[in-house]
Amino acid sequence: MQIGVNVPNFAPGTDPELLRRWAQTIEGLGFDLLMVSDHIAVTPDVAERYPAPFYEPFTTLSWLAGVTSRVRLGTTVVVVPYRHPLLTARMAANLNRLSGGRFVLGAGVGWARQEFEALGVPFGRRGALTDEYLRAMRDAWRDTGDYDTAPIPIWVGGNSDAAVRRAVSLGDAWHSLRGTPGWLAEGAGRLKAVAGELGRPVPAFAPRIQLRESAEPVTSPDRPAGVGTIDQIIADLDRLRLLGAETVLLDSFDGDLTEIGRPERAWRTLAAVAAYHHSQEHR
């Protein structure tokens, strides 16, 4: 199982230097993947959660590709209906080539109604547009011979039944977004059941979970995976490994914007996770 890290690419305190430090810290600790999120128009509904500045993912990852050499780079998740599918396909292909084949396209339908309105995209058709655009992107990669696009994996994000079906039908992995350990176990079973129902191969399971270390154990029955003592966090990762997760993405942002400019606490927890992960690799 590989482990990645979601890097905050938004809010006051985020700037190119901080993004560079995040990338080089993640690569230096030996993690396998770095991902960033996506918004274009920081409308009030977006700004309430993720205020400006918001660094656009494709341009940001292209720059980070130049300051890293090994770590994979991806989106968690690009909002597919926001961009023409041929533009997304070309940007993804370019980024994959420029990074030496390191790109992962995490894709989702989006949620910010005001942002859809600002971009002139019908909010009510976002699911259908996502399906249409993902098919168009795969067709573009297949029909364009000037880029080696076959290795670009599509991780379909979202927690709904529609997202699971989309992952089985159109994706290479299901990228669930947070949840309790029990919910994640149920989701892994749901993924296999839907694949059987549709008569398709089971896509990879690549969940994104929270990462928040506490001094004392978190005993609440609704404790999210990745929240608690370092022993609890490691136990959650071990459970996901047993569930067959191919990659787990750790997300240290918990809504506290004051932490954006002070990532050292998150880096200490990541260092502890990395040390355990590497010890398991060498067993």
> What length does the chain have?
283
> pLDDT tens, 83-126?
999 999 999 999 999 999 999 999 999 999 999 999 999 999 99
The predicted structure's pLDDT at residue 145: 62
- Could you tell me if 38 and 77 are in contact, meaning their C-beta atoms sit under 8 angstroms apart? yes
The predicted structure's pLDDT at residue 150: 62
Longest dimension (CA), the chain: 55
Taking the C-alpha atoms of 148, 155, 236 and 271 in order, what is their torsion angle to the nearest 10 degrees? 50
Q: Is the dihedral of CA 260, 264, 240, 236 positive or negative?
A: negative
- Rounded CA-CA distance 64/224 in Å is 30
Gyration radius of the chain's alpha carbons: 18
DSSP state of 53: P
Taking the C-alpha atoms of 100, 26, 42 and 47 in order, what is their torsion angle to the nearest 10 degrees? 170
- Could you tell me if 3 and 237 are in contact, meaning their C-beta atoms sit under 8 angstroms apart? yes
pTM, entire model: 0.96
Please give the C-alpha separations between residue 33 and each of 29, 71, 75, 78, 91, in angstroms, as whole numbers.
11, 5, 10, 16, 19
Amino acid code (one letter) for 183: W
Residues of the chain short of pLDDT 70, as ranges, are: 145-150, 282-283
